[in-house]
């Protein structure tokens, strides 16, 4: 996958940055060491991070990349310990930050978008924030078209942040009772059917909770592959039955009526008003809810039924793997993670335990994803590797160089980063539809990855034009923020270490290779960067400026390389 994807990106990259595409240096396949006799030394867990390259690679996979000091601190440690420490960190929640900054409820969707960017760029709990972003692409709620919903969308964000290491069943429930999801998928104040008028309950949420949030369209094996004959998981009668379940929900307040809702209803769970809940018998997924069952009992029964469906473990596990480590995960990898989802517990190679043993424990699931043997071994297969999303790539850059004075409210560019021509082509919580920015089963047509049958969802937004847009966007922060701090204050990168290396261009490129790509730059790419940067002469009174230009150019070309665009 790594070399295949890099080749697919090569046209866009070489045209834009004069950087050769290619994989990193090859290594011979090896297996994790084992103890062969009772007297032999005990093998170290394969999740030990022995080199700077391994530490940098893990931080790219598990978070938003690392600074030099963060990479150095991980060398000689176990990846499981880093995960455990991240899980223990206090969650960075968005709603309290929104309320502190906008106490008079000037809470437009744009304000939430900026607050979210501020958190992603600066929060310390980066594994939680990475998990929140991953979950937002499964439980999709897009703020496009919303106005004055900043508090509501912040509340929704905090559902995903707060439950990032919780249980899938809890997320399913919290999302269902979320006002902003109810608005987005049109079951807010969804009334029971009326035979006289012909009114029927809205079916939107009933359909999407099955198709996108839980079980998918066809029955799956535990490894995420379709069962023989691809039997469907549900039919239209199941949707009709579930639509009756999701009736009677409205905002918190003394009555169902909109004008009776409390002022803070958008950032509190919806309430059930049984007079508007369908009293009919409800049949779906082989379960029957008797007539005249109250609304809360109906919803909880439905969510329990969905949660216990055998498709949930492979369906959710595969998508989470795609968001962290592999665009086209090997079925055996999916099955290992799905088994952990079912068990609710994961034992790391160093003996550390994750999860409490309840099915759907996401703490165990994320540990299983990030500590899997295929993630840490030296064997490279076509299923390994991931196309990096534009949002993740920019956050990595900003964090890697310890960017100072980040204030996204002073940056018009962060109001909407969706434009592929002059921005990132992606904005958190602003996907074009409930189907996310890309589909998990997408196979790129007329491509080497497609010919190999590999899914590469990110190729739906990563193409030649978007690659140019990404570099145009990022180059502003790499070049102009260091060149013109008076005209462009804030977002100031720290290139001090890179400037120190600027007289030795080979050392500078080797340093950036580890820091930004975990050692995956090909020799051809490194040679191209060295050749271009070496043309920038360092001399005379402008020597300090020349060194900075060398550092900036090397950073820009590395970030424009195939090795940066594809996560090893």
- Taking residue 542's Cβ as centre, other Cβ atoms within 10 Å add up to 12
Which pLDDT score is estimated for 147?
67
- 40 near 33, Cβ under 8 Å? no
Q: What is the secondary structure of 284-298 as a DSSP string?
A: ETTEEEPTT--HHHH
Per-residue pLDDT of 125-157, as tens digits, reads 999 999 999 999 999 999 887 767 888 999 999
How far is it, in rounded angstroms, from Cα 49 to Cα 266?
Answer: 45
- Taking residue 290's Cβ as centre, other Cβ atoms within 10 Å add up to 11
Alpha-helical segments (H) within 401-492: 448-451, 464-475, 481-483
- 71 near 58, Cβ under 8 Å? no
How far is it, in rounded angstroms, from Cα 461 to Cα 566?
Answer: 14
**How much is the average pLDDT of 77-101?**
95
Under the banding of pLDDT at 50, 70 and 90, the label for residue 425 is: very high
- 505 near 459, Cβ under 8 Å? no
- 346 near 336, Cβ under 8 Å? no
| pLDDT value at 521 more than 70 | yes
Pairing label, strands 386-387, 566-567: antiparallel
- 146 near 153, Cβ under 8 Å? yes
Burial class (CB in 10 A: 0-12, 13-18, 19+), 267: buried
Q: Which two tokens stand for residue 535?
A: 């043309």
How far is it, in rounded angstroms, from Cα 426 to Cα 420?
Answer: 8
Cβ-defined contacts of 451-456 (< 8 Å, 24+): 452/4, 452/382, 454/1, 454/4, 454/327, 454/328, 454/382, 454/383, 455/322, 455/327, 455/328, 456/1, 456/5, 456/327, 456/328, 456/387
Q: Which two tokens stand for residue 120?
A: 């992603």
Under the banding of pLDDT at 50, 70 and 90, the label for residue 2 is: low
Give the largest Cα separation in the chain, rounded.
88
Per-residue pLDDT of 256-291, as tens digits, reads 888 889 989 999 999 999 999 999 999 999 999 999
Helices (H) and strands (E) in the chain, counts: 26, 10
How far is it, in rounded angstroms, from Cα 42 to Cα 34?
Answer: 8
Element holding 353 (H helix, E strand): strand 353-354
How far is it, in rounded angstroms, from Cα 196 to Cα 509?
Answer: 74
Q: What is the secondary structure of 9-44 as a DSSP string?
A: HHHHHHHHH-------------PPP---STTSPPPP
Q: Which two tokens stand for residue 269?
A: 């769970």
* Plot region of 351 (φ>0 → left; ψ -120 to 50 → alpha; else → beta): left
Under the banding of pLDDT at 50, 70 and 90, the label for residue 453 is: very high
Q: What is the secondary structure of 210-229 as a DSSP string?
A: HHTTTS-SB-B-TTSPBPTT
Q: What are the structural domain ranges in the chain?
A: 2-48+384-567, 76-166, 178-213+234-308, 313-376
Per-residue pLDDT of 180-228, as tens digits, reads 999 999 999 999 999 999 999 999 999 999 999 999 999 999 999 999 9
Which pLDDT score is estimated for 360?
98
pTM of this prediction? 0.92
Which pLDDT score is estimated for 31?
33
> Interhelix angle for 362-370 vs 79-88, to 10°?
150
Under the banding of pLDDT at 50, 70 and 90, the label for residue 4 is: low
Select from 93, 256, 245, 261 the least CA-distant residue to 173: 245
Which pLDDT score is estimated for 405?
92
């Amino acid at each position: 996958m790594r070399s295949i994807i890099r080749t697919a990106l090569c046209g866009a990259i070489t045209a834009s940055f004069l950087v050769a595409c290619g994989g990193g240096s090859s290594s011979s396949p090896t297996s994790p060491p084992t103890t062969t006799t009772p007297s032999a030394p005990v093998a170290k867990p394969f999740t030990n991070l022995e080199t700077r390259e391994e530490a940098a690679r893990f931080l790219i996979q598990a978070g938003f990349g690392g600074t030099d000091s963060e990479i150095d601190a991980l060398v000689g440690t176990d990846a499981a310990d880093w995960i455990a420490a991240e899980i223990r960190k206090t969650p960075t929640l968005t709603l309290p930050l929104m309320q502190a900054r906008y106490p008079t409820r000037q809470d437009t969707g744009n304000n939430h978008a900026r607050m979210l960017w501020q958190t992603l760029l600066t929060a310390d709990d980066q594994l939680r924030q990475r998990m929140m972003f991953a979950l937002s692409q499964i439980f999709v709620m897009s703020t496009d078209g919303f106005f004055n919903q900043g508090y509501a969308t912040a509340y929704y964000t905090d559902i995903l942040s707060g439950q990032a290491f919780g249980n899938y069943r809890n997320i399913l429930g919290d999302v269902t009772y979320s006002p902003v999801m109810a608005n987005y998928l049109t079951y807010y104040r969804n009334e029971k059917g009326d035979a006289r008028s012909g009114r029927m309950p809205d079916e939107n949420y009933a359909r999407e909770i099955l198709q996108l949030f839980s079980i998918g369209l066809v029955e799956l094996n535990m490894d995420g592959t379709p069962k023989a004959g691809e039997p469907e998981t549900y039919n239209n009668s199941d949707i009709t039955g579930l639509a009756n379940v999701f009736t009677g929900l409205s905002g918190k307040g003394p009555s169902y009526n909109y004008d009776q809702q409390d002022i803070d209803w958008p950032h509190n769970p919806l309430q059930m008003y049984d007079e508007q809940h369908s009293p009919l018998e409800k049949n779906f997924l082989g379960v029957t809810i008797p007539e005249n069952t109250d609304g809360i009992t109906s919803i909880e029964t439905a969510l329990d039924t969905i949660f216990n469906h055998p498709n949930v473990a492979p369906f959710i596990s595969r998508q989470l793997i795609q968001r962290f480590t592999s665009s086209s995960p090997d079925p055996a990898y999916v099955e290992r993670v799905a088994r952990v989802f079912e068990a609710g517990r994961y034992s790391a190679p160093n003996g550390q335990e994750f999860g409490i043993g309840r099915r759907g424990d996401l703490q165990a699931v994320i540990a299983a994803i990030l500590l899997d043997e295929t993630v840490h071994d030296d064997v490279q297969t076509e299923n390994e590797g991931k196309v990096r999303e534009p949002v993740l790539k920019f956050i990595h850059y900003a964090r890697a160089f310890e960017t100072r004075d980040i204030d996204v409210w002073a940056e018009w560019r962060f109001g909407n980063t969706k434009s592929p021509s002059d921005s990132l082509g992606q904005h958190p919580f602003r996907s074009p539809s409930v189907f996310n920015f890309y589909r998990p089963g997408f196979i790129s047509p007329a491509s080497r990855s497609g010919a190999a049958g590999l899914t590469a969802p990110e190729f739906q937004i990563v193409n030649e034009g978007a690659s140019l847009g990404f570099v145009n966007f990022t180059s502003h922060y790499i070049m102009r923020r260091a060149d013109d701090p008076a005209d462009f204050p804030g977002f100031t990168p720290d290139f001090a270490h890179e400037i120190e290396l600027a007289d030795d261009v080979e050392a500078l490129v080797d340093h950036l290779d580890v820091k930004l790509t975990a050692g995956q730059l090909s020799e051809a790419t490194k040679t191209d960067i060295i050749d271009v940067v070496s043309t920038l002469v360092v001399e005379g009174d402008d020597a300090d400026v020349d060194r900075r230009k060398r550092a900036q150019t090397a950073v820009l070309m590395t970030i424009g390389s195939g090795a940066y665009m594809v996560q090893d």
